[in-house]
């Protein structure tokens, strides 16, 4: 961590703990420089970080002040436990979401894509071109079924921050995280099996279960602490569950980071009932805190956790480079990899490995985490300003997705239809449920640079919701 980031974190903690109350004048640049033994420019950069996070404000000729505390919206409610495993539906709605980004002129508030316009990605473009020109055609041949050794070594180094000390030989490169999840599911489950999932949950993982003829058992999930361990334990006692699939860090769509003690308790449950955990960590690197939160895998001593991730959310989805660390299921996962795509594309693996080795990846991640945290503050303000009173809003601890719960009378599928004429699209809540729950919820993306056009789109969503309520 840079010195200015470390100082920014110290000041941020003091603000959150109430040591620096709202409205109070913060120590001067020179005082902090002397107190912490850093340069004046380091202190100024730390204050800029806090300004971007909307924690402090600069007043001309007066210094820096803690911003007034804002009234926060209520958090989304925890769903009621599902009585039984269900066949997964919602494919038509998912298909509509994933095919619509190509419609010209539409403002996509619902997509799950990062900002790919950042200047810190330019070195990756250069490395992609260079890899194709100077690799003696190696980039145009099949790579190993395991994937690039260089890339696997870089991934193993990156995962040290998450507490996972794994050997590169235990990592398999995949075609995105989606394939990693698919491999993980087929490595531990068969047709007709039951998989417990956090709820709401990533629609891609559930549609994978649907495609393999498996059933999902939705477990209530808290928007701050994650999957209910009490409800999960009751489900494990009642049903022959084969695996637990969840996203414990920077969850999609709720945004929480599951506390470490609950991750350890979850792992103990899996050990007691001898089942696998499929951990989706695709957003973990985008946590606003530093160091980033630990994975469940980092506490796993018997190899029952299959860790899945990719560079789709941290770099660019079009790279289609992901990976899986399948633990004790390595041989089975390798076979599943072979019968699906075989070796993954070589060229992007070479470029990403070089991008990481040359230090560009960490620089890019610092920029994007700051941007996403800043955008979260702005988007939350817009939602509270333009949406009807009583709307419940998540408080993401990382990533770039916001989950909103509306009045029960609002059907977000109908809302999406009404927004078509305004060239705006959201992600409807029901696709994040195996059984079609959350019809009054939606997910909004705040990754891109937020503009007046984006604000007008959010305003239009809020206006349309209000009109729907008036007509109820």
What is the per-residue DSSP string for 144-201? -TT--HHHHHHHHHHGGGGT----GGG-EEESHHHHHHHHHHHHH--TT-EEEEEES-
- Model confidence at 135: pLDDT above 60: no
- Confidence band for 274, pLDDT divided at 50, 70 and 90: very high
The phi and psi torsions of 140 (rounded to 5 degrees) equal: -100, 5
The predicted structure's pLDDT at residue 89: 81
The predicted structure's pLDDT at residue 41: 92
The predicted structure's pLDDT at residue 137: 65
The predicted structure's pLDDT at residue 317: 95
pLDDT in tens, 212-242: 999 999 999 999 999 999 999 999 999 999 9
Mean pLDDT calculated for residue range 284-302: 94
pLDDT in tens, 153-206: 999 999 999 999 999 999 999 999 999 999 999 999 999 999 999 999 999 999
Report the range of poorest mean pLDDT among 40-54, 88-102, 200-214, 288-302.
88-102
The predicted structure's pLDDT at residue 190: 96
- How is residue 80 written in tokens? 């009621």
Mean pLDDT calculated for residue range 27-48: 91
Find residue 306's DSSP bridge partners. 278
The predicted structure's pLDDT at residue 70: 62
- Model confidence at 243: pLDDT above 90: yes
Nearest to 262 by CA among 274, 289, 244: 244
- Model confidence at 14: pLDDT above 90: no
pLDDT in tens, 245-255: 999 999 999 99
Within 10 angstroms of residue 335's Cβ, the number of other Cβ atoms is: 14
Q: Between β-strands 427-428 and 441-445, what pairing exists: parallel, antiparallel or unpaired?
A: antiparallel
What pTM was estimated for this model as a whole?
0.86
């Amino acid at each position: 961590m840079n010195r200015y980031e470390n100082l920014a974190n110290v000041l941020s903690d003091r603000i959150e703990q109430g040591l620096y109350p709202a409205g109070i004048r913060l120590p001067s640049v020179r005082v902090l420089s002397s107190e912490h033994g850093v340069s004046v420019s380091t202190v100024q950069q730390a204050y800029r970080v806090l300004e971007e996070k909307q924690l402090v404000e600069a007043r001309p000729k007066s210094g820096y002040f803690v911003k007034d505390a804002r009234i926060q919206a209520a958090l989304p409610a925890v769903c009621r436990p599902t009585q039984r495993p269900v066949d997964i539906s919602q494919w038509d709605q998912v298909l509509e979401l994933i095919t619509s980004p190509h419609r010209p002129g539409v403002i996509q508030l619902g997509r799950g894509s990062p900002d790919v316009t950042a200047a810190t990605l330019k070195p990756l473009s250069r490395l992609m071109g260079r890899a194709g020109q100077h690799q003696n055609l190696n980039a145009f041949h099949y790579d190993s079924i395991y994937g690039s050794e260089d890339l696997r070594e870089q991934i193993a180094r990156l995962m040290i921050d998450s507490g996972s000390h794994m050997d590169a030989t235990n990592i398999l490169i995949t075609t995105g995280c989606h394939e990693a999840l698919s491999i993980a599911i087929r490595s531990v489950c068969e047709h007709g099996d039951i998989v417990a999932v956090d709820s709401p949950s990533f629609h891609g993982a559930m549609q994978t279960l649907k495609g393999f003829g498996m059933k999902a058992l939705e477990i209530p999930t808290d928007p701050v602490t994650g999957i209910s361990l009490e409800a999960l334990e009751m489900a494990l006692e009642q049903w022959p569950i084969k695996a637990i699939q969840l996203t414990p860090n920077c969850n999609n769509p709720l945004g929480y980071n599951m506390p470490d003690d609950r991750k350890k308790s979850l792992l103990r449950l899996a050990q007691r009932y001898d089942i696998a955990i499929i951990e989706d960590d695709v957003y973990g690197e985008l946590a606003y805190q530093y160091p980033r939160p630990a994975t469940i895998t980092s506490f796993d001593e018997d190899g029952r956790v299959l860790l899945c991730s990719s560079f789709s959310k941290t770099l660019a989805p079009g790279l289609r480079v992901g990976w899986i660390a399948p633990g004790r299921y390595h041989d089975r996962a390798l076979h599943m990899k072979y019968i699906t795509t075989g070796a993954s594309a070589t060229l992007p693996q070479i470029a990403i490995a070089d991008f990481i080795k040359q230090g560009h990846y960490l620089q890019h991640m610092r920029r994007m985490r700051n941007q996403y945290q800043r955008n979260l503050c702005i988007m939350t303000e817009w939602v509270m300003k333009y949406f009807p009173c009583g709307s419940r809003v998540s408080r993401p601890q990382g990533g770039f997705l916001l989950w909103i719960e509306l009045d029960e009378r609002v059907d977000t599928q109908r809302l999406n239809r009404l927004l078509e004429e305004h060239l705006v699209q959201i992600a409807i809540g029901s696709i994040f449920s195996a059984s079609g729950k959350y019809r009054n919820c939606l997910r909004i993306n705040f990754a891109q640079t937020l503009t007046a056009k984006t604000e007008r789109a959010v305003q239009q969503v809020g206006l349309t919701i209000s009109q729907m309520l008036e007509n109820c």
